[in-house]
Every structure is written in structure tokens, then in C-alpha cells.
Amino acid sequence: MRDFLKQYPRVEQLARQLMALYPASPRLGSGFWQHYALLQESEAWSEAQLREFQFDKLRTLLRRLAATSPFYARRLAGVPIEQLDTLAKFQSLVPSLTRQEFAANYAEIRSRDFNPRQAVACSTSGTTGNALQFHHPRGYRQREWAAICHQWRRVGYDPVRSHRAEFRALTRAGALYDEFPEQRMVRFSILDLRAENLPRMADMVTSRGLRFFHGYPSAMYLLAREVVRSGFRFPQPQAFLLASEVVYDFQLEQIQAAFPESRLFAHYGCAEATVLSAWCEHRRVYHVLPQYALTEVDATTGEISGTNLYNDLNGFVRYRMTDAAGGVENTPCPACHRPYTPILTRLDGRQEDYLYSRDRGWIAPAIVTYPLKHLHAIQELQFLQENPDTITINYVVRPGATREAAAHELQEVEGGLYKLLGTRTRLVARPVDDIPRGATGKYKWIVSRLDPRSAEASGQCH
């Protein structure tokens, strides 16, 4: 980043100006403001300037990986790194990387200079039944938050002044909400979005000035439906910031019906930081951030791949995410004119079914991932629901894992699911040899024969 600032002093100047505007800015960190300024300045660059920046970052990354990672030293041997200046060259000379390859070769992918005190431990959500463990370099969280706030800025979000309600993750047991004053955020329980709780939630929204609602579309949908059904006058936020799940039209329609004065805005990313994109002010299509990562879309399958331009600890280079885009535009948006490409007109790869419980209603996929974070003996896992009372757990044991280790992990998964589903749901575990996959190599980890939009039973959708 320092070398870049020398090349583009305007970004450094802008970062200092932004920090000076906000007395509370030091809590966000200088790394946040540098990247926030970079994104703000570069959205007015030409496509050629952004491409130059992107491939300069790519060459720097590959040089570093070739020098410090045994895996990439072999993979990049003979690759003329300094000549990589187009996507076509990059794709023809550097192989793609699958999730399975990354997991199997992690010890050699990781840099020899790895220092745990200089790293941020992370994992995927576990939506394929087995969370991937990895690290980001120190400074990742500031850079990530800067990129998110850059996108949210399109609907008026200010990283210092704005207060938000969060409808994602879990609260303390039994708590309707948790407060995070240092983040200007209140997190509401996504398992307790019922009509009887609306007055207390509304009081908190009003008293804390929570003008932005951030979280799962499924949780926002439930909130909106309870507002409509009860007729309760809930405070109207400035915008809904939808994240972590595919957004369905029926969810948008319900939210808009309950909150007609609010704007709707969605973004898409991943824990590996190989793609980040969001709607613009005018169109509900996903504008990929080229300053954040180098993103590719397979012309045949729609599979999304990405290269994290900043992670030299355990590189994600041409990393195949197995998420898929249902449509792609390779020219800048004609409405906002930002030079961001590609544009993903529809996301397909994250469309999963919902689980249902008699106690809690419909449970969204993002919630179900919580008991799946630390699986090792269980390699893959799939939930199958064909009636409202029973869920079958199909699971594949990792080669070499003991039966006892798999049984222990399965017990932990079942315990976590009972906390989410309640006690009236019957869980049936079934070992299988493999789980069928689709064209991109990703399998559906939740398969439901029930309709999440039907009025059956409670009609809730968590």
C-alpha cells in the first residue's frame, strides 16, 4: 500500500482529508482510511487505470507467493510473472485452484514467513458442510470494512456517523438484542423476530438512532412480514443492507411493503475475499470491485473464481468458489457509469432451501451453518427434509478418520441443530459414500421438499 501511495499521492491526500473530517476516525484505523480513500478516488478512474492497478497488485502478489510458498513456487515456476498484463494471459499461464486443493495442500500453500501474531484466523461459513480454515494478513479487517462501507455509501451510509441494526449472527442466550456501542450497532436476535417483540425492538431502533438495517434477507423478510401482519408502526430505516444470502423477489416485495420509505441494497462476498460486489444506486445487479480482487466468471458454467490481491500468507489465486452467476455483463454499468467489471446480473450458486421446524418455523441456510464450523472427521454433510417433522443428515466421513471422531462431530452437529430447531424435530443420521454435485462441482447441502413461502404451520422464516 505504501508503494501504491507513492505512485498515487492523491489517494494519500484524500485519506488524510477524510480522517481530519471525523474526530472519531482513529478507532477505524489508518488502514481503513487508506483503502476507503483508494476506493473513493478510483471509482472515477478509467477502465485502463483500474486494470493497470489490478495487474500491478497481481504481479506483486505472485512474486511474493513464488518466493515464500513452496506450493506456489512449483505452480508458478516458468510463469513470466512480469508479462502478466491481461486476464487472457493470466488464465492461460496460471492454473485454477479448487477448495479441495487448498485444504489438502495448506501446509505448503502457507508462506514460510507466516507469523500467527501478524495474521487473522478465518473460516468459511461451512455451507458445503465443512468449513475451510485459513488466514488473512494483519490489516484485513480494516481493508474489508473499508470496502463494505464504500459500497454502502451508495445509499448514504457513513462509517463514522451512521448507526445500524444488525440481523445476523446470534445474540447471547435469551437476549432479544446485544449492544455494540463502539461499532454504533445493535444486534437483534434473528430467532425472536415475532410480533410480540416488535415494540421493544422499535423502542431500541428509535432510542439508538438505528437508521440502517443490516443482515440476512430471510431475517428482514420475517421482520417485514410480522410488521405487515400485526399492523405495528415500526420505524422506517433509511436503507436495508442485505447480505450473506441470495435475495429473492418475494423477500424484496415483502420488505418494501412493510417499509415503503426505505431503500433496498444488497452485496455479495465471501470469507476468502476473492470477490466483493454490490448493487449500485440505480440497478439491482452486482458490480464487482476490481480494486478488491481479480474476479472471473466461466463462460460455460457461470462459476465464479477470484484472486485475493492482498493475501500473501496463504494465497487464493484463481480460486474456484463454486458459486455461480446466472448472467454477466463485461462493460461498465450504463446507469452509474462506474468502471467496475464484471457485473453479475444474477447469483445462482448460493440458492439453498430452508429447513423447517415445528418450534421455530422456517430456518434460513445462513443460520444452519453455525453448528458446522469445525468439522474435520466429517468431510461433507447434507440435510434432507421431506416432511415437517424429520430431517435426514447425509454425511461422508473423511478418509482415514476414525468412527469415534465422526460420531463425536455428528453429536455436536445434532446438538447445535436442536438449539436452532427446537426439540420437536427428529434428526436421522445416515452415512453415505458421496453426495451428488452440480455443474460447478458444488452440491446442495440443504435439500427440502417443503415450500418456504407456503403458509403451512407458523409460516415463519428465520
Of 235, 237, 227, which Cα lies nearest the Cα of 258? 227
pTM value is 0.79
Q: How far is the first Cα of the chain from the last one, in angstroms, to the nearest whole number?
A: 41
CA 146 to chain centre: 15
pLDDT digit string, tens, across residues 226-261: 999 999 999 999 999 999 888 888 889 999 999 999
CATH topology of domain 355-448: GMP Synthetase; Chain A, domain 3 (3.30.300)
What percentage of the chain's residues is helix, strand, coil (to nearest 5)? 35, 25, 40
CA distance 414 to 393: 9
Looking at residue 321, its pLDDT comes to 86
What is the DSSP pairing of strand 164-167 with strand 185-188? parallel
pLDDT digit string, tens, across residues 292-330: 999 999 988 899 999 999 999 999 999 998 788 989 999
CA distance 191 to 4: 45
Q: Are 461 and 362 in contact (CB under 8 A)?
A: yes
Listed by start position, the domains of the chain span: 355-448
Q: With bands split at pLDDT 50, 70 and 90, how would you rate the model's confidence at 462? A: very low
Whether the pLDDT of residue 130 is over 80: the answer is no
Task: Provide the Cα torsion 309, 310, 316, 321; round to 10°.
Answer: -70
pLDDT digit string, tens, across residues 7-66: 666 776 676 666 556 665 677 888 999 999 999 999 999 999 999 999 999 999 999 999
Whether the pLDDT of residue 122 is over 50: the answer is yes
Phi-psi region of 262 (alpha: psi -120 to 50; beta: other; left: phi over 0): beta
Whether the pLDDT of residue 455 is over 60: the answer is no
CA atoms within 13 A on the CB side of 192: 19
By CB neighbour count within 10 A (0-12 exposed, 13-18 middle, 19+ buried), where does 428 fall? exposed
Whether the pLDDT of residue 205 is over 50: the answer is yes
CA 80 to chain centre: 33
